[in-house]
Structure 1
Amino acid sequence: MATTPVASVLFVCVHNAGRSQMAAGFLSHLAGGQVEVRSAGSLPAEQVNPAAVEVMNEVGIDISGSAPKLLTTDAVQASDYVITMGCGDACPVFPGRKYLDWEFDDPAGKGVEDVRRIRDQIKDRVESLVAGIRQEGHSGRADP
């Protein structure tokens, strides 16, 4: 029997190739189907950052099948939580959503050691997010 997700989260970054992809990978892995996960960018890259794929594989999470996606108003409107990844991206704002900005270094052009550090910081934030969502026991959205 399938479980209905208790919340929906959208991670947004300009290129949707590193930080937002790692965050989405962690949330999908850690939430165990309790959260619907999306990621997008205002100027999506051609592919996910290979260093991000490599460091996520090191912790048993495969994001190699992910592809950068264009940020749409529909994706924002369908999400309970909209989390920008410290890249100054502008998102449409809808009442009843929780907007968070998580500032992390951009992994673009960085070596694997730096990307590992960013990965670990993202994991810590995602773990806190999952705990908060579980504590609330319902979505962050005010409207039905």
Structure 2
Amino acid sequence: MTQPRTVLFICKHNAGRSQLGAHLLTHVGTAQLVAESAGISPAETINPVIAESLQELGIDASAARPRPVTVEDLASADVVVLMKPGLPLPGPVGGELVEWSFPDPSNWEAEGVRELRDAVAEKVRGLAARLVG
């Protein structure tokens, strides 16, 4: 049996976009991929509107805690997904680098976050299909 591939989602605060990416990839439910998330300068907590939008899909994000991205994370991940292009990383990426461009939802209301969640979900499904496929 082959080892699962690790996909690391990174955004600025690890409170919104990268949390969406990691939770949605886990929700896709393929055992061949492991989702992780981290941030350049992590917030204290996950954005509550992001958590609520995930809960609407039956995804429990209550245990999610923002954390900083490390050199080790970047070296060991098979795929690193930047949720905002050009983020300053603490080291080189060892695997494939993917750059997506999603706006920062820090101060958004639920409706805007739902649209973002659905857009991220579409990209995540495409990525998962490509990586597993």
Under TM normalisation by the shorter chain, which class is it?
A: over 0.9
CA distance in 1, matches of 2:107, 2:76: 32
> Percentage identity across aligned positions?
36
Unaligned runs of 5+ in 1: 136-144
Contact 1:22/1:52 (8 A) holds in 2? yes
Trace 1:1-144 onto structure 2 (pairs within 5 A). 5-86=3-84, 88-91=86-89, 92-95=91-94, 97-135=95-133
Per the alignment, in what secondary structure is the counterpart of residue 129 of structure 2?
helix
Contact 1:80/1:98 (8 A) holds in 2? yes
CA distance in 2, matches of 1:88, 1:120: 23
Query: Per the alignment, do residues 38 and 113 of structure 1 end up closer, same or farther by CA in structure 2, a change over 3 Å counting?
Result: same
Question: How far did 1:90 drift?
Answer: 1.7
AA at the equivalent of 2:56: E
Q: How many pairs were matched up?
A: 132
The alignment yields a C-alpha RMSD, in angstroms, of: 1.5
Of 34-43 and 82-91, the range deviating more from structure 2: 82-91
Per the alignment, in what secondary structure is the counterpart of residue 83 of structure 1?
strand
Deviation beyond 6 Å, 4+ runs, structure 1: none
Per the alignment, in what secondary structure is the counterpart of residue 12 of structure 1?
strand
Query: Per the alignment, do residues 5 and 35 of structure 1 end up closer, same or farther by CA in structure 2, a change over 3 Å counting?
Result: farther
Offset from partner CA, 1:60-114 (integer Å, 9 cap, x none): 111121000111000111101000011641222245x110111111110010011
AA at the equivalent of 2:66: P
Unaligned runs of 5+ in 2: none
The alignment's TM-score, normalised by the length of structure 1, stands at 0.86
AA at the equivalent of 2:70: T
The alignment's TM-score, normalised by the length of structure 2, stands at 0.93
Offset from partner CA, 1:17-47 (integer Å, 9 cap, x none): 0000011001111133221211101100000
Contact 2:53/2:110 (8 A) holds in 1? yes
Contact 2:9/2:18 (8 A) holds in 1? yes
